[in-house]
Amino acid sequence: MKRTFLGCVLALTTASALVACSSGAADDSVSESRTITVDTIAGPTEVTGTPSRIVAFGQQWVDALLEFDVQPVGYVSAGSNGNERGLYPWQTEVADDSVMLDASAVDQVGGAVPTEEIAALQPDLILVSGIPSIDPYRGLSDIAPTIFPKAEKVETWESQIETLGRVLDREDDASRIIEEGREFTDGIVADLPGLNGKTAVLSQFIFSTQQLAVVADPEDGAAQIFDSIGLSVPEGLVNSPDISHGRIVLSPERLDVLTADLVVMLPNGGTRDDLEKLPGFTRLPAATGGGLAVVDYATVVGINLPSKASVEFSLNKIRPQLEVVAS
């Protein structure tokens, strides 16, 4: 979970350099009729024509493409946390001929983005998200126009849908997709009005490093999922001076910061029993009040790297805790 939760998933480590590659083979498939500009953390990216060979090097982008019924020519793998194709439960519509790309090496010292494999797919657009730093990925722009995140935090899924709507010249479809997604969360608000005014946090405890990681920025895309159903981040976390990339990493002694009514937690490298052995864990308000959801990797990723499909999956998984908090 290090990569997926720290730094647009609270990543603890990252590294290294890219080998610049280039490919012009896909240019013939791109119409020269229009150019749009997308502002990113790496600067503006210009996309000419309507891309047809798109690499989704980020889980959120895989999901966004599927909402438009567009198949990626290559997609980033969820690794051992996904199925045999490296996909999460809500990504089953990815075509069999889409190429799975391994991102695990990027987390290793001296590791690099698989630029050669990406270049071999002859993309006319590369979409990147869920990364702690853009530095190892800059060389992707030498292969094809590359859309990086807009900020050093997890983007909202709506923002990505809007961007893709512009890129694909399908802004009406983008509006429809966003409306459908909001109908789901609006339904929860209608069913559970008692959530309004309560608090929630998304967190994980990393047993290998003995660290507590918490989403603390209310503008972070993950926190916005809770906001969409009436829940907010506790003020003590929002005002913390330790926020970086929208998140806070703390020692086990700081479990007391988890004062929220709802706590969604991944026991990264451990179990619920292991969590309950941590000093003070069983006395947390969520633990005593029924608002503690100890979840698996897919469920926490579904909120942490939100998309229309993943939000529906994950919020359904924690529906029992939502009902308790709302009561």
* Lateral strand order in the sheet of 146-147: 99-101, 74-76, 54-57, 125-128, 146-147
Residue 311 and residue 228 share a domain:
yes
CATH number of the domain to which 21 belongs? 3.40.50.1980
User: Distance between CA 74 and CA 67 in Å, rounded?
Assistant: 16
Pair 9, 146 in one domain: yes
- Evaluate whether residue 186 is within a structural domain: no
Answer whether residue 300 is part of any domain: yes
132 lies in the same domain as 10:
yes
Q: 156 and 52: one domain?
A: yes
* pLDDT on residue 113: 86
Question: Among the three residues 128, 151, 180, which one is the final residue of a domain in this structure?
Answer: 180
pLDDT value for 19: 25
Same domain for 134 and 210, yes or no, is no
Segment-wise mean pLDDT, segments of 10 residues, the chain, 327 residues: 39 27 40 84 94 95 98 93 93 96 64 87 94 84 94 89 97 98 98 97 95 92 95 91 82 91 96 95 96 96 96 98 98
3-state SS string for 196-217:
CCCEEEEEEEECCCCEEEEECC
Which one, of 216, 205, 226, 213, lies nearest residue 156 by Cα?
226
**Whole-number pLDDT of residue 17:** 24
- The verdict on 11 and 53 lying in the same domain is yes
| Model pLDDT, residue 1 | 38
CB atoms inside a 10 Å sphere around CB 202: 28
Kindly state whether residues 42 and 174 are assigned to the same domain: yes
User: Whose structure tokens read 């864990």?
Assistant: 281
Quick one: tokens of 264?
């969604």
Count of alpha carbons within 13 angstroms of residue 313, beta-carbon side: 22
Residue 105, pLDDT score: 61
The pair phi, psi for residue 225, each rounded to 5°, is -65, -45
Total structural domains in the chain?
2
Same domain, 205 and 114: no
Tell me, what's the pLDDT at 27?
A: 44
Q: Are residues 98 and 160 in the same domain?
A: yes
Query: CB-hemisphere CA count at 13 Å for 259?
Result: 11
